[in-house]
Amino acid sequence: MQTRKLGNSPLEISAIGLGCMGMSFSYGPPKDRQEMTALLRAAVERGITFFDTAEVYGPFTNEELVGEALAPFRKQVVIATKFGFDLNPNFDPRGMKGAPGLNSRPEHIKQAVEGSLKRLKVETIDLLYQHRVDPNVPIEDVAGAVKELIQQGKIKYFGLSEAGVQTIRRAHAVQPLTALQSEYSLWTRTPEKEVIPTLEELGIGFVPYSPLGKGFLTGKMDEKTTFDSSDFRSTLPRFTPEALKANQALIDLLGTIGKRKQATPAQIALAWLLAQKPWIVPIPGTTKLHRLEENIGAVAVELTPDDLREIDSAASKITVQGTRYPEKLEQMTGL
């Protein structure tokens, strides 16, 4: 497995990480704990050293799973987690009922970190992200609280998720950021406008989540695909039958390139991300070993400058149908 550094930091991790959310949360009912433990350990055996979780996934159960499964490999792996929500007792992740409110007050951050340390079975959190920007708390206060926790040895590196350019700059001035995590893929390219140039200027790494478009870019869905009510994609505008049908043009493009490279659409989608910058580390999630191995295989797919130009040219003619989230959830889901 190739490795990459996140921006200018010394943090070196596998070129592809593993997003763990779907093992416990959002993509249908929670998966079998023993099976997911075996999958996490299989990822380590295959060279993955970067694992992504959050306290809201479950809530709490995903951190517990990751902590327990990776305990034997603690010195080999880097675990990222996130804070930033008030996890009320009525929160139901299936329909985002009683969705948690944002809370990045410094005292709450400190409480969240203590909880994450216990669940992850670690003395120090490798990388801690603010899960969503809290409009009620100045980002300088958030960065200051994290800085204190770094000085106390409870956190090694600080990151933000889905933050805009001004927020990134303000936070970075108080406590240097190691990574930004935001959605980025061939069907969500918003970060290219302002965010990626800013990260490059400041020496901050980029961790794209949903790099396979929540499963769509694997090429395994069409307008007949249905989602269980416990799968949050059942509520997303991009996963209506009409949008799935309209967006197949993107899959056709990936399939065409894939045939030439003897690679799957998912591998081309991940290879495309890896080719954008040497400090980008995507974190595709999966609950299946064969998908894990397919995703890892993307690291060996080499896209030439001509291939990349061809993908960009074709993709620019495709208008992706449907927004990422329903408007009311855009700021709240943390997904």
Q: What one-character-per-residue DSSP string does 127-185 give?
A: EEEESS--TTS-HHHHHHHHHHHHHTTSEEEEEEES--HHHHHHHHHHS---EEEEE-B
For residue 255, tell me if it sits in a domain. no
Two tokens at 173? Answer: 């001035």
What's at 127, amino acid-wise?
L
CATH code of the domain containing 61: 3.20.20.100
Average pLDDT, the chain: 93
For residue 234, tell me if it sits in a domain. no
| Domain of residue 284, residue span | 3-212+277-301
Strand order, beta sheet including 125-130: 18-19, 50-52, 78-83, 125-130, 155-161, 179-183, 205-209
My answer on whether omega of the bond before 59 falls inside 30° of 0, hence cis, is yes
For residue 237, tell me if it sits in a domain. no
For residue 188, tell me if it sits in a domain. yes
Window from 96-100, 242-246, 278-282 with minimum mean pLDDT: 96-100
Positions annotated as catalytic residues are 57
Q: Is the dihedral of CA 45, 46, 49, 55 positive or negative?
A: negative
Percent of the chain with pLDDT over 70: 94
Distances (CA, A) of 275 to 270, 271, 278, 282: 9, 6, 7, 11
For residue 256, tell me if it sits in a domain. no
Helix locations, the chain, DSSP H: 33-45, 61-70, 106-120, 139-151, 165-174, 195-202, 241-246, 248-261, 265-276, 289-297, 305-316
For residue 242, tell me if it sits in a domain. no
Chain segment 273-326, per-residue pLDDT in tens:
999 999 999 999 999 999 999 999 999 999 999 999 999 999 898 888 888 888
Which residue's structure tokens are 């449907």?
A: 322
Chain segment 159-200, per-residue pLDDT in tens:
999 999 999 999 999 999 999 999 999 989 999 999 999 999
For residue 90, tell me if it sits in a domain. yes
Q: Is the dihedral of CA 272, 182, 10, 165 positive or negative?
A: positive
Cα atoms in the 13 Å half-sphere on the side-chain side of 307: 19
Cα atoms in the 13 Å half-sphere on the side-chain side of 79: 32
For residue 308, tell me if it sits in a domain. no
Give how many domains the chain has, as a whole number.
Answer: 1
Question: Of 5, 280, 6, whose CA–CA distance to 159 is shortest?
Answer: 6
Number of Cβ within 10 Å of residue 327's Cβ equals: 8
Chain segment 133-146, per-residue pLDDT in tens:
999 999 999 999 99
**In contact, 130 and 138? CB cutoff 8 Å:** no
pLDDT of residue 94: 52
- CA-to-CA distance for 146 and 166, rounded, in angstroms? 18
Whether the per-residue pLDDT at 55 is higher than 80: the answer is yes
pLDDT of residue 134: 96
Mean pLDDT of 250-260: 94
**In contact, 89 and 57? CB cutoff 8 Å:** no
pTM of the model: 0.94
